[in-house]
Amino acid sequence: MDQTVSRRTAPLTGAYRPEGDKSLSHRALLFAALAEGTSTVRRFLVGGVTKAMLRCLRDLGVAWSLDEETHTLTVRGVGPKGFRAPAAPLNCGNSATTFRLLAGVLAGAGIPCVLDGSEGLRKRPMNRIADPLRLMGAAVETAEGRAPLIFAPASLKGVTYALPVASAQVKSCLILAALTADGPTLLTEPGPSRDHTERMLSAMGASVTPVAPYGARVEPLMAPLRPLDTELAGDISSAAFLIVAATLVPGSDFLLERVGINPTRTGIVDALRAMGADIVFENESSMAGEPVADIRVRAASLRGTSVSGDLVVRMIDEFPAFMIAAAAAQGETIVRDAAELRTKESDRIAVMTARLRALGVDMEEYPDGFRIRGTGRIPGGAAVDAQGDHRVAMSLALAGLAADRPVTVAGFEMLNESFPDFPKVLGLC
């Protein structure tokens, strides 16, 4: 399945329940390892990125078992100081979430270890965690600000730290380190990054409280974390591809069931609604401290919009899919304040601009964003490559569903990192 051809498709109808949220799956697994006792996690995402976290934890001496049929995970917690020094570097694959969250745990774990990953991961910025971890007293070396990171045992202290960019991975790394520090830690950040770490750790008994407008105050753990017995909400970042697909394919009326609608993640819905999309939340409830809803999407014609500021943070993973919506809309879409997109699995501004241009879209990049002049149609009719980025792969396939001529996507298998069901749900193979 290295390459797929995506073309106009029948309307999306019926219902689909997305797999467990990627961010929640990473956190449930890692926090379960930090707890005392056995945790059970249902609807755990079985994808390349979570398999990276599973592999690393096994190498750190954590016992877990995963039923890949039912997506049920059990983890025997070892506590923050109970990890075994790994014999070889820990391989985080392509998963920056695995890397950055584990770094926070390893900084205070009292063991020597090396944290590494794929060639792609080695290109991503890691000083954003290494610098504040050092402020906390961590003994960590980087390869000129990139992976691998080399940790030696160290005692951590509580700090006050203002994150220069809104990042849930950095915030979570520091919250996890703060759990083993000698005093409280105060973290502030410039925007509303996802708050799943705060919610889940609080539910497990840690003292992690929100700070206005954005940030968290963390007290060192006074008692062991309680194990989890939980079912995870569906991934809105995976659902976003289907929301865009159902919006763009005429005649669609599609229901996405039990999807997480944490307000730090629903920026894509706000942006698409501003463009004229027909998206309705039904049956709102909560699952394990996270708001969920069924999301009904009916096809609609879109118009251009502008996105900047906090909205960028609340839809940070959804820009590749959003670009397809903007390309298929009538009128101009402008995005600013989004330089972070250049630090993801690929430089998503440069990579998507080159590919959408190859598909006949009028698109221009800015250092911190892009402009798309939508004409209401995507010409298509080209072969484009995913650049090793799962969300680029899925977005290019999405373009094919709405384009005049088919789109061939090379490197399509990258979708297995986060959304293995994607081809099945959209009838691609």
Position 98 contacts ligand S3P (CB under 6 A): no
* Contact between 172 and ligand S3P per CB under 6 A: yes
Query: Dihedral angle at the C-alpha atoms of 360, 317, 286, 295, nearest 10 degrees?
Result: 0
- Kindly write out the interface string for residues 193-232 of this chain, putting x where it contacts ligand S3P by CB under 6 A and - elsewhere: xx--------------------------------------
Candidate list 60, 272, 316, 335; residue touching ligand S3P; CB under 6 A: 316
| Cβ distance to ligand S3P smaller for residue 41 or 401 | 41
Query: Is residue 97 involved in binding ligand S3P (CB under 6 A)?
Result: yes
The minimum distance between CB 383 and ligand S3P, in angstroms, equals 27
Could you confirm whether 67 is annotated as catalytic?
A: no
Site mask, ligand S3P, residues 46-85, x = CB under 6 A? ----------------------------------------
Residue 43: name the closest of 19, 67, 8 by CA: 19
Question: Binding to ligand S3P (CB under 6 A): which residues in 335-354?
Answer: 340
Q: Which of 317, 337, 362, 389 is catalytic?
A: 317
Residue 238 binds ligand S3P, judged by CB under 6 A: no
- Work out which of 46, 168, 242, 428 binds ligand S3P, going by CB under 6 A: 168
CA 134/CA 157 separation, integer angstroms: 10
Minimal distance, residue 26 CB to ligand S3P, in Å: 6
> Given its phi and psi angles, is residue 426 left (phi above 0), alpha (psi -120 to 50 degrees) or beta?
alpha
Q: Does 288 help bind ligand S3P (rule: CB under 6 A)?
A: no
Residues that bind ligand S3P (CB under 6 A): 23, 26, 97, 167-169, 172, 193-194, 316-317, 340
